[in-house]
Amino acid sequence: MKREKILAKILSGSKNIAFTDFVNLIEGYKFELSRTRGSHQIFKHKDVMELVNLQNVDGQVKSYQIKQFLELIEKHNLKLEE
């Protein structure tokens, strides 16, 4: 799925976001996988001190992690790249 469509789906209030789609989205904001620890995948960005911690639960991303990511991109004014 295209990154803009994934973001639009999230912003419309959908909580049913596939984990792989969400990883695709955050990679569009230039976050890179830093490490994996158990079911958690940790992503980092070269210009952002905070890490993005994602958990794959039955192929879905947790809704609070989506919210945290949206707050992070707003706080740092990050732009989506296709």
Residue bearing tokens 């419309």: 12
Model confidence pLDDT, tens digit, residues 9-36:
999 999 899 999 999 999 999 999 999 9
Share above pLDDT 70 across residues of the chain, in percent, rounded to a whole number: 100
Burial of 26 (0-12, 13-18, 19+ CB in 10 A): buried
Residue scoring higher pLDDT (72 or 82): 72
pLDDT value at residue 20 = 95
The CATH architecture that domain 3-75 belongs to is 2-Layer Sandwich (3.30)
Alpha-helical regions (H) of the chain:
3-11, 19-28, 63-75
Extract the tokens encoding 9: 């789906």
**Domain locations in the chain as residue ranges:** 3-75
∠62-34-5 over CA atoms, to 5°? Answer: 45
What pLDDT is recorded for position 15?
A: 84
This prediction has a pTM of 0.92
Do the Cβ atoms of 78 and 70 come closer than 8 Å? Answer: no
